[in-house]
């Protein structure tokens, strides 16, 4: 079998050749010819596996993009003739993609320039709107295999800009820290205050000036967060930090202006700098993944509306009751509808969990979210998109409230006691020194607050969890943020969806039940299925490995079965045998003799059994929207009372709610829109996906399906990572206690503070990184 020159897939059917090069399909050949004509052949030289098979599109699919209202919302810049637009292009995967997509100006007149962001998988195009329309630009990109994602969600308006202030804050703190250290060097080396009094004063005042931007600009988020915490009667970690920074600044300024010392500005700026680095490390997220998607990211932007004999592309927002719409093969049904014309076979596995595609008759209601398989159908819209049976799920209160406020991180829990203890120690030692010397008392109290500033403590969680996040990401388990790690470590119950989660969506296991077929018979069956477009025929065709032969007198009775020569295949009514309940089946007859039937089931994930048995220490549940044909099968993995079939999306959400009301911590693992409510409601919602760049509902983490079997390791790893956090808390406490000892005795000097602070931070950073890496290596062995 030869590999396609363009996409490198195996060429299964009739070979298509030009220029002695082999292609698997017409689409791939067209891309090659287009690139060849435009002398862009280097595309194939730059990296292997470059080509992407273009998806099928029909003429006029993108004409709605030329609508002024839509253009206004899509374009990020539009001035007279020049327009800029940005698309997500998930097909971007190698350097060839960058090479080609940045040469679009050679392929399409009117495109001025194009730029790829490989990490985010976005393509930004600048074009001359008087020479080329946006629809033409998109058709061109789609034609070379890089169809951009255009969905309803994009109509919300321009994407929010990423906050760059934090990077600036870090830069400013780093700049000031470095310069203050440089100016303090003379003091570190024991400069004689009297001999060089001129330098001494200048250095001190320069330090003060350099500390101002650190205090008022870089440290601002900590003050703000501390203030918000106190307002909510909660002493978070930022309270002692702010207190430390504040005391450092006041005391240093006082020392400098009264001429008694050099102050602690080096410690102050260093502290803020390290804290901001920790924050930066913790916030490093996966830019190409989205954890916040709802149905709007799954629905198309426009649909074909029929008025009389005219076809018109109408945006889904403007779709109203009574509209007649045309849905083509593979298109999504955007609203609840009634079938008016055509043969509807609806695959709604993603929306309901139901594996089998359902045949609908004229007059039947079809709910939003299903995909049409087969020819075009005409439908009449019953409800607005936002009122449909599926999208109403998003009106549930679970989607309204913001969960983030309720999360109490372990760091914040500890800091509550920490702050109280520090304040007590400061007050008592203040009272003690008061008896001897008031000046000394103030000095000691401020020294305690400075040295107790929990820099290392504040860095423990960001670095330990940030590194955990990175390790998990390297293993294709992508978490939304570091808070999720803490949530996972507390999990007691795991709730699974079936379709697409325990089974592989789009893959079927075919078994023949009846007499064993010989190779000639298998050839005949495969050849018979070749010409049929029925989904079950395609599945059987792909499942059988045999030579193709030519059959005569082929006839397809649509929706019933296929016949050629002496073979008959089809439904139970077509072959006239008894129907086997609740499974997808295709019966087979040779020369009037009944041979048996093909049983088509969804294919289970690899290592399913071993993975689930490794999770035995948790309570496992199964909730599925499918019928209960596989109940007995699933009893092997789940307790019988915790297996639930035929669950509606809202039932799933309520199931999680009931478990939570019993005080359980729930991890929900699902994949489809029907799990969206449960994923949102659960403590940790994990969305499993064959391709992490494709649509997945809003969740806390995205698990690449290929690493499903590592899930038990990941869960163990998160609880170990939390232990690392506790251990590094202990280490930073030791430093705090050590420093405190000198502070209470009144012996702390600026250089002592300037050394202690970075050493404690570096110890924590090194410790957390080494241990988390080591633990993961041990676990995955």
Partner 1 sequence: MAVLFLLIFLSLILATGFLFAFIWSVKSGQLDDDYTPSVRMLFENNINNTKNIKK
Q: Which residues bind partner 1 (CB under 8 A)?
A: 39, 42, 46, 95, 98-99, 102-103, 105-106, 113, 115-120, 162, 164, 167-168, 171-172, 175, 178-179, 183, 199, 202, 206
In whole angstroms, how close is the CB of 333 to partner 1 at the nearest point?
37
Q: Which of 19, 29, 21, 18 is nearest to 2 (CA)?
A: 21
Closer of 202 and 549 to partner 1 (Cβ) = 202
What residues pair up with 344 in beta bridges, in sequence order? 360
Nearer to partner 1, 57 or 99 (CB): 99
Q: Are 725 and 460 in contact (CB under 8 A)?
A: yes
DSSP string spanning 408-435?
A: --HHHHHHHHHHHHHHHHHHHHHHHHHT
Q: How far is the CB of 172 from partner 1 (least distance, A)?
A: 7
Distance CA 358, CA 354 (A): 9
DSSP, res 532: -
- What does 116-153 look like in DSSP terms, one character per residue? EETTTTEEEEEEETTT--HHHHHHHHHHTT-PPB-BGG
Provide the pairing of β-strand 593-604 with 503-514: antiparallel
Q: Where are the beta strands (DSSP E) in 469-545?
A: 477-479, 493-496, 503-514
Q: Which is nearer to partner 1, 202 or 431 (CB)?
A: 202
Least distance from partner 1 to the Cβ atom of residue 43, Å: 11
Cβ proximity to partner 1, 103 vs 631, nearer residue: 103
Q: How far apart are CA 694 and CA 672, in angstroms?
A: 12
- Tell me whether residue 198 or residue 640 sits nearer to partner 1 (CB atom): 198
- Return the number of the residue (177 or 291) whose C-beta is nearest partner 1: 177
Best CA proximity match to 455, nearest among 185, 181, 248, 254 = 248
Collapsed DSSP state (helix, strand, coil) of residue 470: helix
Q: In this structure, how many other beta carbons lie within 10 angstroms of the beta carbon of residue 606?
A: 13
Asked whether the beta carbons of 59 and 129 are under 8 A apart, the reply is no
**Which is nearer to partner 1, 93 or 716 (by Cβ)?**
93
CB of 201 or CB of 395, closer to partner 1: 201
CB of 99 to partner 1, least distance (A): 6
The least CB distance from residue 204 to partner 1, in Å, is 13
Residue 426 CB neighbours (<10 A): 22
Min dist. Cβ of residue 612 to partner 1 (A): 38
Nearer to partner 1, 173 or 471 (CB): 173
The β-bridge partners of 494 are 620, 667
Closest to partner 1 by CB, 112 vs 544, is 112
Report how far residue 336's alpha carbon sits from residue 355's, in angstroms, rounded to the nearest whole number: 20
3-state secondary structure of 221: helix
Residues, the chain, total? 781
Residue 755's CB: how many other CB atoms inside 10 A? 14
- Residue 107 C-beta: closest distance to partner 1, Å: 11
d(CA 677, CA 394): 8
Taking the complex as a whole, how short is the minimal distance between the CB of residue 53 and partner 1, in angstroms? Answer: 23
Residues 119 and 523: their CA atoms lie apart, in Å, by 46
CA distance 645 to 352: 11
Q: How far is CA 509 from CA 296, 347, 505, in A?
A: 32, 17, 11
Q: Of the two residues 115 and 329, which places its CB atom closer to partner 1 in the complex?
A: 115
CB of 118 to partner 1, least distance (A): 4
Shortest Å, Cβ 618 to partner 1: 38
> At its nearest, how many Å lie between partner 1 and the CB of residue 49?
16
> Which residues lie closer than 8 Å to 68 by C-beta, 6 or more apart?
none
Question: What is the token pair recorded at 135?
Answer: 């629809």
Least gap, CB of 758 to partner 1 (angstroms) = 21
Interatomic CA distance for residues 639 and 647, integer angstroms: 17
CB 563 within 8 A of CB 557: yes
CA distances to 380, 382, 500, 668 from 366, rounded to whole Å, are 10, 10, 22, 28
Q: Smallest distance from the beta carbon of 171 to partner 1, in angstroms?
A: 5
Closer CB to partner 1, 190 or 663, in the complex: 190
Cβ-based nearer residue to partner 1, 119 or 420: 119
């Amino acid at each position: 079998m030869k590999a396609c020159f363009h996409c490198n897939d195996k060429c299964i059917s009739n070979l298509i050749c030009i220029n002695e090069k082999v292609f698997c399909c017409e689409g791939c050949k067209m891309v090659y010819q287009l690139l060849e004509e435009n002398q862009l052949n280097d595309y194939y030289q730059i990296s292997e596996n470059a080509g992407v098979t273009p998806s099928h599109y029909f003429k006029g699919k993108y004409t709605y993009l030329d609508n002024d209202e839509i253009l206004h919302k899509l374009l990020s810049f539009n001035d007279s003739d020049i327009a800029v637009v940005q698309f997500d292009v998930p097909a971007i995967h190698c350097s060839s993609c960058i090479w080609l997509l940045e040469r679009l100006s050679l392929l399409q007149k009117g495109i001025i320039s194009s730029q790829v962001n490989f990490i985010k998988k976005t393509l930004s195009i600048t074009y001359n709107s008087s020479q080329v329309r946006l629809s033409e630009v998109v058709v061109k990109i789609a034609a070379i295999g890089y169809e951009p994602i255009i969905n309803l969600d994009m109509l919300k308006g321009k994407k929010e800009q990423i906050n760059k202030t934090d990077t600036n804050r870090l830069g400013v703190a780093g700049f000031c820290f470095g310069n203050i250290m440089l100016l303090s060097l003379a003091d570190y080396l024991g400069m004689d205050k009297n001999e060089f009094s001129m330098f001494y004063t200048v250095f001190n005042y320069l330090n003060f000036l350099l500390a101002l931007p650190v205090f008022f600009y870089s440290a601002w988020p900590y003050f703000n967060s501390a203030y918000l915490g106190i307002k909510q009667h909660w002493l978070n970690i930022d309270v002692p930090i702010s207190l430390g920074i504040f005391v450092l600044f006041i005391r240093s300024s006082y020392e400098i202006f009264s001429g008694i010392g050099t102050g602690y500005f080096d410690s102050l700026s260093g502290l803020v700098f390290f804290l901001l680095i920790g924050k930066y490390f913790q916030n490093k997220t996966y830019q190409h993944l989205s954890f916040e998607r709802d149905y709007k990211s799954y629905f198309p932007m426009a649909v074909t509306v029929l008025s009389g004999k005219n076809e018109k592309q109408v945006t889904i927002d403007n779709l109203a009751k009574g509209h007649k719409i045309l849905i083509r093969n593979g298109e999504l049904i955007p609203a609840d509808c009634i079938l008016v014309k055509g043969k509807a076979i609806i695959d709604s596995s993603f929306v309901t969990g139901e594996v089998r595609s359902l045949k609908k008759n004229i007059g039947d209601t079809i709910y939003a979210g299903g995909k049409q398989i087969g020819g075009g159908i005409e439908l009449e819209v019953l409800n607005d998109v936002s009122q449909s049976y599926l999208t109403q799920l998003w009106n549930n209160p679970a989607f309204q409230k913001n969960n983030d406020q309720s999360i109490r991180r372990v760091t914040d829990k500890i800091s509550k006691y920490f702050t109280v203890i520090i304040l007590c120690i400061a007050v008592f030692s203040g009272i003690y020194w008061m008896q001897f010397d008031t000046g000394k008392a103030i000095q000691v109290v401020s020294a305690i607050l400075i040295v107790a500033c929990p820099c290392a403590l504040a860095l423990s969680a960001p670095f330990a969890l940030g590194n955990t996040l990175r390790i998990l990401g390297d293993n294709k388990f992508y978490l939304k943020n570091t808070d999720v790690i803490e949530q996972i470590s507390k999990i007691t119950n795991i709730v699974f969806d079936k379709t697409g989660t325990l089974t592989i969506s789009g893959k079927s296991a075919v078994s023949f039940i009846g007499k064993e077929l010989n190779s000639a018979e298998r050839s005949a069956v495969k050849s018979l299925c070749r010409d049929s477009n029925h989904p079950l025929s395609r599945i059987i065709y792909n499942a059988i490995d045999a030579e193709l032969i030519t059959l005569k007198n082929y006839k397809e009775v649509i929706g019933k079965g296929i016949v050629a020569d002496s073979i008959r295949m089809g439904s139970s009514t077509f072959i006239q045998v008894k129907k086997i309940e609740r499974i997808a089946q295709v019966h087979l007859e040779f020369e009037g003799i009944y041979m048996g039937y093909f049983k088509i089931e969804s294919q289970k994930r690899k290592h399913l059994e071993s993975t689930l048995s490794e999770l035995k220490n948790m309570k496992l549940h199964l909730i599925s929207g499918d019928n209960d044909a596989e109940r007995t099968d699933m009893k092997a993995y789940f307790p019988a009372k915790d297996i639930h079939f035929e669950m509606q999306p809202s039932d799933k959400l309520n199931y999680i709610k009931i478990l939570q009301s019993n005080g359980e911590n729930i991890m929900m693992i699902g994949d489809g829109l029907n799990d969206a409510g449960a994923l949102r409601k659960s403590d940790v919602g994990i969305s499993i996906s064959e391709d992490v760049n494709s649509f997945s509902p809003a969740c806390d983490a995205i698990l690449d399906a290929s690493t499903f079997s590592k899930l038990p390791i990941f869960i163990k790893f998160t609880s170990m990572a939390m232990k690392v956090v506790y251990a590094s808390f202990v280490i930073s406490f030791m430093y705090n206690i050590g420093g405190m000892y000198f502070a209470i005795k009144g012996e702390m000097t600026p250089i002592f503070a300037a050394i202690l602070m970075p050493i404690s931070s570096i110890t924590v950073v090194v410790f957390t990184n080494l241990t988390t890496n080591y633990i993961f290596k041990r676990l995955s062995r």
